[in-house]
């Protein structure tokens, strides 16, 4: 029986199947963005895995992501506490950039004319101060019915003030609106995101409602198509937090799958990090237009609730912590008015793509620079599926070189260096912002372009080990295949720590955990599930929290000690005498990890034909001529070592090992790159 | 692997790539400082509002890098740090020192703006300083929250600190801390906020040590100077691109909190010369009795702010940017207060007005780059008291966004932080959790944006109800009788307002009517009681171009979005609408007639 | 007119007021450049301010006593 992961990307839909022995089947199918279901079914057929042999499919999809990015979701009516109808439009009143008169606020996922007030009020203590009466409800219904006839609402989002403390009014409205509008999906803020700060909660519940009809439609079409196949296939969707959820649940709470397409890479990256014996890793999934940076700490993913659709439009649900930056092979090099060279964030994308694609692009991109430096083989890009035109790449880089007064080779090195630096800075912010020093971490690099840049980035960060997983281009699909059932829950309590008792906290955690286990059972959990409990703490009057693990044995006292210690470590001071506020209880319940040592081991991967060692002329970072040894990855057995400068090629990626670095092939199949002793 | 592999390749005497890399590193370091500050500060104005800025300076006091949080502070910090160096002497800094400074006459913005400065050493040699300038809410003085809007002297505005070492080689100087905290109404909050500021310096110092380990003191100093030279050269090129000439403009501050009838002129003559640009504020009013005066630092910040808004966004921000900018600000005027004149409102209200004056002046030179005037009142509203639930004393500095001016290409944003800052609002749910008010309404102010081919943004309305036995409030607002001007035929934005409805009453009145304050919008120390309501209306922004040229489809959309009504669509925009199948549509023919008739 | 001379400001603790440059208005911390024009003493931040005074201010506003 196979566990199957299917990842729908912009260009390809990838499949990885793993059988009970850990044997791997891979397949690729051109994506069908207009009808993603077709590529989904197509890639299953192409893999030749029989329906009867599928234990389950986990699917990473960009349906919700694309709907949001392209703003092609539902017409959402917004219902909120009367007097606050403009909150989604006022937003947080800050600007994206300090000095830009021409910047416009982002358009929220609703319109002002679809925003309706309900006469009701809950206060900061969770007490009802203005009851929501029948008349108020009737007025909301009437207002929704009175919306312009040419723009009937397609979904309703409800966000009432302090509903995260007392959801009674939201529940009443939800019930009555469902009766009045039986055809419209309804999203309630306290269910979608029970968090403090009304704008962030509104924005989140709007996102949920916005993608709901589309995601529900997609899930339904998949269900129908799968039901029509020869055998019943169990299919779930990868959630933004790296867990999975049944098709029906994704349709009900689509906000959970907003980053479904990114999560697979993080899960897969974590898997390979662990297989290489690495507990603390930074994953770098770099493709053509963007790079996604994630964190694995103590073998676990990091989660955050600070995601933005675009600047200023937050979606506050648990997601795998990932920072996406506009840096990829297609990032464009440009020279500013003062003659300084810059790279990105503009990208040539997949079309026209880098100059070397010979598809009409003339801008010099990072891929072009890599070609000029001899790091890419023009005849073995995507395993030779796409020929690159080295002359066009050189010309494009030469044009930039002329403007900065350097040789094309020096300029190519500079482009790569600046791109590396940009990614380095993003990784720094992603780590240091969380109080994490990246230097103790390994860099796990994959995607088509990650392994080319990984060592240089690691050096800039002071990272000592780089890991390049097998089949770097299929890590996302593999991540989906091995993803686990997982539920994340957050409960806001907002109380001073001296008013909290271990017994009460344990009772609350236990209640949350029971709920979560119930949900997992409904998702089809068979084996054991683990739970972790965390408290989000801050000094009273601070507004941002630090998460510390809560154990029954250590209780609150140990949490507090840990909190003071971490505060001192990172900020240089702590206030052990000051009151600490306990803001959230955070719970994760997750299936026994299939990537753990006791889980299935993956067998050796199917090999591409070995081609022996060749040599290629290239350039180092000073633009000087050097010779690279070029290896085919499949020809390198576990335990094999070699020294840079060298290039390792495989069908879906290229790894660059600069001078001074040393490669060892790990028994897991990972390439491990360190500094030569 | 060694972290220096790439940096070393570019070594001391960095090439342009090395400089790009270093500049990114330094900006990033400043951002990290800001994040540390946001995550650890106690006051809403920091952790929600982000009213602070983080800077790296070399040992000459020149700014090498900063993270953009609050433009109002950037000019001033150049002068506060330079002053500190000159007053204390470079030889008197030791590792682990932290200097604090808020003196408006020694380079500061206004008294609430506190700068903390920490020297950074490498191998015993001073490289420079990391600094954080931040708006501290409660600093003593006659009014809670640091805005004594009727102050006539600096001594009423709070505790004034010349540059003093509050931490000496790593040790808190307890005597000074006692003095400072004894003069603040909320010492615990000040303690937490000051440590958040100082903590951010530690974060930056750590990161600078990494750069110093790679480049050495001499290398990093040289690289910083190269970056400044680069930015200077870029800014001079920008100046050369401006059409040469002299451009004058003026706007007004409507009263100073002391004399309700006085108006204060902000005037600037901008001379664009070969490769520098002079901003001459001669002709601005003599300094006010009340605190609507700017320090030199505020006027400089505002001038730099306007220039950075009108020039290339990609120029690295450092002292070099400012070298082509010459400022003439006569002492003893509203744009350069002389001791002991009060100044708290200059930074918060006059800064925006100065920026608008410069946009107005340069609208004749670069109409495609400027914006019409913004509503541009921070609507500073201060309050404090004892919280009925915690019995703790609290103080808060509350601000509002206002409508922004339209530009040639787009409508002004609704309700956005004025240009002197880039603060976030405090969420209603945070506000009510911290302070004993109920927010009854927070919405856009109807029809407050000025009409035009592109529209000014709307201001907002907030209604607050007192939920405690007593709250003491102060206010420093402007543009309640003046309006944000439109450009090139665009109309003015709507004025703001501040009203109060006492418990049991049914009418909104001004504070002058209800409490006899001298000024209706600049006053201090008024006691409100349970059930009293306050309504703050922020001003809207000016329009750009004639409303008769606005695309009728956009007028229809504005109308549907409730930004104005059918009457305005017809009388101001000349757009005639009719109902088609239950929805509104533009009557193209009658619109043409209407617009033809009106012009 | 001469190139002027640098003048140190007094540093007594009880001096808490500030003096300003006669061209740009900026406050002077430690020392200023003193020049005499038509018998009137002028205080400047530095030679740059003195130059701008000559080339911009004086032709426009004359040598006003403030």
Q: According to the model, what pLDDT value does residue B533 have? A: 98
Q: How far C2 CA lies from chain B's nearest CA (Å)?
A: 23
CA distances from A512 to A301, A487, A505, B26 (A): 21, 10, 11, 44
Averaged pLDDT, B124-149: 94
Residues on chain A touching B580 (C-beta within 8 angstroms): none
Contact (CB<8Å) C24/B339: no
- Report the 10 Å Cβ neighbour count for B219: 18
Q: Residue window 48-67, chain B: list those with CB within 8 Å of chain A.
A: 48, 50
The verdict on B19 touching A (C-beta cutoff 8 Å) is: yes
**Which residue among B196, B308, B442 sits closest to A83, beta carbon to beta carbon?**
B442
CA distances from B497 to A85, A614, B448, B450, B563 (A): 21, 77, 11, 16, 19
The verdict on A495 touching B (C-beta cutoff 8 Å) is: no
Which of B2, B214, B223 has its CA nearest to residue A456?
B2
DSSP 8-state secondary structure symbol assigned to residue A310? S
CA distances from B355 to A48, B71, B278, B299, B419 (A): 68, 11, 15, 9, 8
Which of B313, B334, B349 has its CA nearest to residue B268?
B334
CB B449 within 8 A of CB B538: no
Considering its fold, how many domains does chain A have in total?
Answer: 3
Residues of chain A short of pLDDT 70, as ranges, are 10-11, 350, 382-385, 432-436, 592-611
Residues 6+ apart with CB under 8 A from B566: B559, B577
Contact (CB<8Å) C25/B278: no
Ramachandran region, residue B27 (left: φ > 0; alpha: ψ -120 to 50; beta: rest): alpha
Q: According to the model, what pLDDT value does residue A593 have? A: 55
The verdict on B441 touching A (C-beta cutoff 8 Å) is: yes
In total, chain A counts a number of residues equal to: 677
- CA quadruple A209, A210, A215, A218: dihedral positive or negative? positive
Q: Coil, strand or helix: which one is A122?
A: strand
ipTM > 0.90, yes or no: yes
Chain Cα centroid distance, residue A165? 29
Query: Going along B490-582, which residue ranges are E strands?
Result: 497-501, 522-529, 533-537, 577-580
What φ, ψ does residue B248 adopt, rounded to 5°?
A: -110, 155
pLDDT over 80 (residue B534): yes
Instruction: List the single residue in B with minimal CA-CA distance to A463.
Output: B1
**Residue A26 domain-assigned?**
no
In total, chain C counts a number of residues equal to: 66
Residues on chain B touching A403 (C-beta within 8 angstroms): none
- Check which CATH number belongs to the domain holding A587 and give it: 3.30.1490
Residues on chain B touching A675 (C-beta within 8 angstroms): 1-2
User: A553 and A471: one domain?
Assistant: no
Judged by average pLDDT, the poorest of A486-495, B82-91, B390-399 is A486-495
Q: Which residues pair with C35 in a beta bridge?
A: C42
Residues on chain B touching A543 (C-beta within 8 angstroms): 41, 44, 47-48, 430
Q: Which residues pair with A586 in a beta bridge?
A: A490, A534
Give the residue extent of every domain in chain B: 5-233, 371-545, 549-598
Q: Which residues pair with B444 in a beta bridge?
A: B460
CA B138/CA A542 separation, integer angstroms = 16
| A385 class by beta-carbon count within 10 Å (0-12 exposed, 13-18 middle, 19+ buried) | exposed
Q: How far A151 CA lies from chain B's nearest CA (Å)?
A: 10
- Report the 10 Å Cβ neighbour count for B409: 11
- Check which CATH number belongs to the domain holding A363 and give it: 3.30.420
User: A507 and A424: one domain?
Assistant: no
Helix, strand, coil % in chain C, rounded to nearest 5: 25, 30, 45
Residues 6+ apart with CB under 8 A from B390: none
User: A474 and A490: one domain?
Assistant: no
Which of B151, B75, B164, B188 has its CA nearest to residue B116?
B164
Q: According to the model, what pLDDT value does residue B154 have? A: 95
The verdict on C6 touching B (C-beta cutoff 8 Å) is: no
Place of tokens 């800052």: B421
Structural domain boundaries enclosing A126: 74-197
* pLDDT tens sequence across B318-335: 999 999 999 999 999 999
Q: How far B518 CA lies from chain A's nearest CA (Å)?
A: 31
DSSP A570-584: HHS---TTS-EEEEE
User: A288 and A407: one domain?
Assistant: yes
User: A490 and A474: one domain?
Assistant: no
User: A420 and A512: one domain?
Assistant: no
Residues on chain B touching C18 (C-beta within 8 angstroms): 105-106, 338-339
CA distances from A165 to A159, A189, A198, A537, A539 (A): 12, 11, 12, 18, 21
Six-digit token pair at A141?
Answer: 């219904």
Which of B252, B339, B263, B349 has its CA nearest to residue B298?
B349
- Report the 10 Å Cβ neighbour count for C55: 11
Q: According to the model, what pLDDT value does residue A602 have? A: 61
Q: Which residues pair with A323 in a beta bridge?
A: A293
Residues 6+ apart with CB under 8 A from B414: A89, A90, A105, B401, B403, B404, B444, B449, B457, B458, B459, B460
CB B507 within 8 A of CB B455: no
Residues 6+ apart with CB under 8 A from A204: A189, A192, A193, A195, A255, A314, A315, A316, A317
User: A413 and A552: one domain?
Assistant: no
CB B199 within 8 A of CB B40: yes
CA distances from A476 to A12, A15, A278, C34 (A): 12, 9, 19, 72
Place of tokens 């999809």: A61
CB B144 within 8 A of CB B384: yes
User: A416 and A466: one domain?
Assistant: yes
The verdict on C24 touching B (C-beta cutoff 8 Å) is: yes
Residues on chain B touching C27 (C-beta within 8 angstroms): 79, 83, 105-107, 296
A408-432 and A450-461 helices, crossing angle to 10°: 70
User: A86 and A177: one domain?
Assistant: yes
DSSP B244-271: PEEEEEEEEE---SS-TT--EEEEEEEE
Q: Tell me which chains share at least 3 CB pairs under 8 Å with chain A.
A: B
**Residue A2 domain-assigned?**
no
Instruction: Among A181, A197, A213, identify where a domain stops.
Output: A197
- Report the 10 Å Cβ neighbour count for A59: 31
**Which residue among A92, A162, A494 sits closest to B424, beta carbon to beta carbon?**
A92
Q: Which residues pair with A117 in a beta bridge?
A: A80
**Residue A347 domain-assigned?**
yes
**Residue A142 domain-assigned?**
yes
Contact (CB<8Å) C25/B329: yes
With helix as H, strand as E and coil as C, how does A319-341 read? EECEEEECCCCCEEEEECCCCCE
Cis peptide before A342 (omega within 30 of 0): no
Q: How far B18 CA lies from chain C's nearest CA (Å)?
A: 32
DSSP 8-state secondary structure symbol assigned to residue A511? H
Q: According to the model, what pLDDT value does residue B598 have? A: 54
The verdict on B100 touching A (C-beta cutoff 8 Å) is: no
A260-275 and A475-482 helices, crossing angle to 10°: 90
The verdict on B440 touching A (C-beta cutoff 8 Å) is: yes
**Which residue among B7, B38, B407 sits closest to A102, beta carbon to beta carbon?**
B407
Residues on chain C touching B83 (C-beta within 8 angstroms): 27, 29
**Which residue among B16, B42, B560 sits closest to A341, beta carbon to beta carbon?**
B16
In total, chain B counts a number of residues equal to: 599
**Residue A406 domain-assigned?**
yes
User: A433 and A515: one domain?
Assistant: no
CA B352/CA B100 separation, integer angstroms = 26
**Which residue among C25, C29, C56 sits closest to B278, beta carbon to beta carbon?**
C56
User: A444 and A488: one domain?
Assistant: no
What does the mean pLDDT of chain B come to? 93
* pLDDT tens sequence across A143-186: 999 998 889 999 999 999 999 999 999 999 999 999 999 999 99
Contact (CB<8Å) A541/B438: no
Contact (CB<8Å) B21/A421: yes
What φ, ψ does residue B362 adopt, rounded to 5°?
A: -80, -5
User: A490 and A463: one domain?
Assistant: no
Instruction: List the single residue in A with minimal CA-CA distance to B436.
Output: A124
Q: Tell me which chains share at least 3 CB pairs under 8 Å with chain B.
A: A, C
What φ, ψ does residue A78 adopt, rounded to 5°?
A: -115, 125
pLDDT over 50 (residue B62): yes
Q: Which residues pair with B474 in a beta bridge?
A: B382
> Which runs of consecutive H residues, i.e. helices, occur in A389-525?
390-404, 408-432, 450-461, 475-482, 502-522
Query: Going along A480-636, which residue ranges are E strands?
Result: 484-496, 529-539, 546-549, 580-591, 614-619, 625-632
């Amino acid at each position: 029986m196979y566990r199957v992961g299917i990842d729908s990307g912009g260009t390809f839909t990838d499949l990885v199947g793993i059988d009970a022995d850990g044997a791997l089947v891979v397949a690729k199918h051109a994506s069908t963005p207009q009808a993603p279901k077709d590529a989904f079914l197509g890639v299953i057929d192409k893999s030749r895995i029989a329906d009867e042999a599928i234990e389950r499919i986990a699917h990473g999809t960009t349906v919700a992501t694309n709907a949001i990015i392209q703003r092609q979701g539902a017409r959402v009516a917004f219902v909120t506490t009367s007097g606050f109808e403009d909150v989604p439009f006022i937003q947080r009143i800050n600007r994206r950039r300090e000095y830009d008169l021409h910047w416009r606020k982002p358009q929220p996922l609703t319109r002002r004319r679809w925003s309706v007030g309900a006469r009701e009020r809950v206060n900061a203590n969770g007490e009802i101060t203005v009851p929501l009466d029948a008349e108020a409800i009737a007025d909301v219904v009437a207002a929704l019915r009175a919306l312009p006839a040419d723009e009937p609402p397609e979904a309703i989002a409800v966000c009432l003030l302090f509903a995260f403390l007392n959801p009674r009014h939201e529940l009443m409205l939800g019930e009555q609106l469902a009766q009045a509008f039986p055809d419209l999906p309804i999203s309630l803020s306290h269910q979608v995101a029970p968090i403090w700060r009304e704008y962030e909660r509104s924005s989140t519940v709007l996102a949920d409602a916005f993608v709901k009809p589309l995601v529900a439609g997609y899930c339904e079409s998949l269900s129908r198509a799968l039901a029509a196949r020869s055998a019943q296939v169990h299919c779930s969707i990868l959630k933004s937090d790296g867990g999975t959820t049944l098709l029906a649940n994704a349709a009900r709470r689509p906000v959970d799958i907003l980053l479904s397409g990114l999560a697979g890479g993080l899960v897969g990256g974590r898997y390979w990090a662990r297989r290489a014996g690495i507990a603390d890793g930074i994953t770098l999934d770099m493709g053509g237009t963007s790079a996604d940076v994630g964190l694995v700490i103590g073998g676990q993913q990091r989660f955050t609730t600070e995601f933005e659709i675009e600047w200023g439009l937050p979606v506050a649900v648990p997601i795998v912590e990932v920072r996406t930056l506009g840096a990829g092979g297609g990032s464009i090099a440009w020279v500013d008015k003062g003659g300084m060279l810059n790279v990105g964030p503009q990208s040539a994308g997949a079309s026209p793509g880098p100059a070397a694609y010979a598809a009409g692009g003339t801008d010099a991109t990072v891929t072009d620079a890599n070609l000029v430096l001899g790091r890419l083989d023009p005849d073995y890009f995507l395993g030779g599926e796409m020929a690159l035109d080295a002359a066009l790449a050189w010309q494009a880089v030469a044009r930039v070189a002329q403007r900065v007064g350097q040789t094309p080779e020096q300029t190519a090195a500079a482009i790569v260096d600046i791109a590396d630096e940009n990614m380095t800075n993003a990784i720094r912010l992603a780590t240091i912002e969380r109080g994490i020093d990246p230097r103790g971490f390994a860099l796990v690099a994959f995607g088509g372009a990650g392994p080319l840049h990984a060592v240089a980035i690691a050096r800039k960060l002071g990272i000592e080990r780089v890991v390049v997983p097998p089949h770097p281009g299929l890590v996302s699909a593999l991540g989906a295949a091995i993803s686990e059932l997982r539920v994340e829950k957050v409960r806001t309590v907002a109380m001073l720590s001296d008013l909290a008792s271990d017994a009460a906290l344990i009772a609350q955690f236990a209640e949350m955990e029971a709920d979560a286990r119930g949900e997992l059972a409904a998702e089809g959990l068979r084996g054991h599930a683990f739970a972790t409990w965390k408290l989000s703490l801050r000094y009273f009057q601070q507004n941002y929290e630090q998460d510390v693990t809560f154990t029954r044995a250590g209780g609150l006292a140990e949490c507090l000690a840990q909190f003071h210690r971490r505060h001192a470590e990172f900020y240089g001071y702590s206030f052990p005498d000051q009151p600490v506020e306990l803001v959230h209880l955070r719970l994760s319940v997750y299936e026994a990890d299939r990537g753990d040592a006791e889980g299935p081991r993956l067998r050796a991967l199917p090999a591409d034909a070995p081609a022996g060692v060749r040599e290629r002329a290239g350039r180092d970072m000073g633009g000087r001529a050097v010779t690279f040894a070029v290896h085919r990855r499949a020809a390198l057995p576990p335990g094999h070592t070699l020294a840079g400068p060298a290039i390792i090629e495989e069908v879906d990626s290229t790894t660059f090992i600069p001078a001074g670095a040393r490669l060892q092939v790990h028994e897991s199949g990972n390439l491990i790159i360190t500094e030569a002793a | 692997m060694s972290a220096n592999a790439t940096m070393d390749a570019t070594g001391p005497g960095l090439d342009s790539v090395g400089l790009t890399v270093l500049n990114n590193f330094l900006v990033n370091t400043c951002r990290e400082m800001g994040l540390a500050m946001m995550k650890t500060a106690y006051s809403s104005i920091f952790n929600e509002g982000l009213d602070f800025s983080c800077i790296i300076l070399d040992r000459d006091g020149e700014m090498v890098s900063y993270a953009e949080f609050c433009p109002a502070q950037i000019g001033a910090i150049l002068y506060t740090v330079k002053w500190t160096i000159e007053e204390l002497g470079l030889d008197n800094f030791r590792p682990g020192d932290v200097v604090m400074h808020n003196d408006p006459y020694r380079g500061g913005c206004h008294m609430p703006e506190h700068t903390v400065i920490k020297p950074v050493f490498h191998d015993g040699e001073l490289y420079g300083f990391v600094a954080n300038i931040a708006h501290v809410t409660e600093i003593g003085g006659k009014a809670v929250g640091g805005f004594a809007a009727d102050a006539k002297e600096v001594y009423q505005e709070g505790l004034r600190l010349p540059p003093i070492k509050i931490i000496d080689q790593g040790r808190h100087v307890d005597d000074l801390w006692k003095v400072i905290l004894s003069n603040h109404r909320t010492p615990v909050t000040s303690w937490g906020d000051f440590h958040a500021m100082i903590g951010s310096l530690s974060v930056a110092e750590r990161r600078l040590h990494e750069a110093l380990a790679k480049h050495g003191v001499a290398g990093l100093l040289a690289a910083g100077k190269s970056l400044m030279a680069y930015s200077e050269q870029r800014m001079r090129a920008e100046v050369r691109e401006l059409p040469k000439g002299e451009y004058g403009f003026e706007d007004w501050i409507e009263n100073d909190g002391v004399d309700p009838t006085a108006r204060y002129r902000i005037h600037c003559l901008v001379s664009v010369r070969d490769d520098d640009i002079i901003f001459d504020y001669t002709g601005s009013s003599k300094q006010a009795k009340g605190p609507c005066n700017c320090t030199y630092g505020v006027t400089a910040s505002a001038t730099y702010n306007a220039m950075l808004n009108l020039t290339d966004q990609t120029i690295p921000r450092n002292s070099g940017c400012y070298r082509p900018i010459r400022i003439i600000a006569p002492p003893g005027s509203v744009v350069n207060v002389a001791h002991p004149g009060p100044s708290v409102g200059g930074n918060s209200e006059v800064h925006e007005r100065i920026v608008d004056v410069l946009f107005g002046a340069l609208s004749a030179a670069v109409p495609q780059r400027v914006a019409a005037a913004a509503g541009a009142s921070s609507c500073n509203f201060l309050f404090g008291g004892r919280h009925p639930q915690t019995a703790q004393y609290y103080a808060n500095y509350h601000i509002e966004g206002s409508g922004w001016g339209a530009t040639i290409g787009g409508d002004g944003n609704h309700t956005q932080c004025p240009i002197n800052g880039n603060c976030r609002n405090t969420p209603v749910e945070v506000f009510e959790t911290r302070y004993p008010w109920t927010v009854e309404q927070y919405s856009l102010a109807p029809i407050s944006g000025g009409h035009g081919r592109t529209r000014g943004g709307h201001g907002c309305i907030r209604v607050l109800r007192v939920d405690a036995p007593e709250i003491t409030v102060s206010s420093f607002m402007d543009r309640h009788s003046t309006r944000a001007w439109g450009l090139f035929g665009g109309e003015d934005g709507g004025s703001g307002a501040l009203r109060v409805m006492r418990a049991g009453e049914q009418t909104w009145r001004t504070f002058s009517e209800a409490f006899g304050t001298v000024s209706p919008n600049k006053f201090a120390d008024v006691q409100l009681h349970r059930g009293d309501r306050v309504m703050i209306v922020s001003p809207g922004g000016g329009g750009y171009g004639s409303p008769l040229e606005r695309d009728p489809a956009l007028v229809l959309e504005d109308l549907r979005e409730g930004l104005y009504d059918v009457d305005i669509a017809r009388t101001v925009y000349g757009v005639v609408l009719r109902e088609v199948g239950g929805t509104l549509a533009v009557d193209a023919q009658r619109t043409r007639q209407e617009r033809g008739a009106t012009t | 007119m001469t190139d002027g001379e640098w003048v140190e400001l007094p540093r007594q603790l009880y001096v808490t007021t500030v003096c300003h440059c006669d061209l740009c208005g900026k406050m002077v911390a430690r020392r200023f450049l003193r020049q005499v024009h038509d018998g009137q003493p002028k205080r400047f931040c530095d030679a740059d301010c003195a130059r701008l005074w000559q080339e911009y201010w004086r032709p426009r506003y004359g040598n006003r006593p403030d």
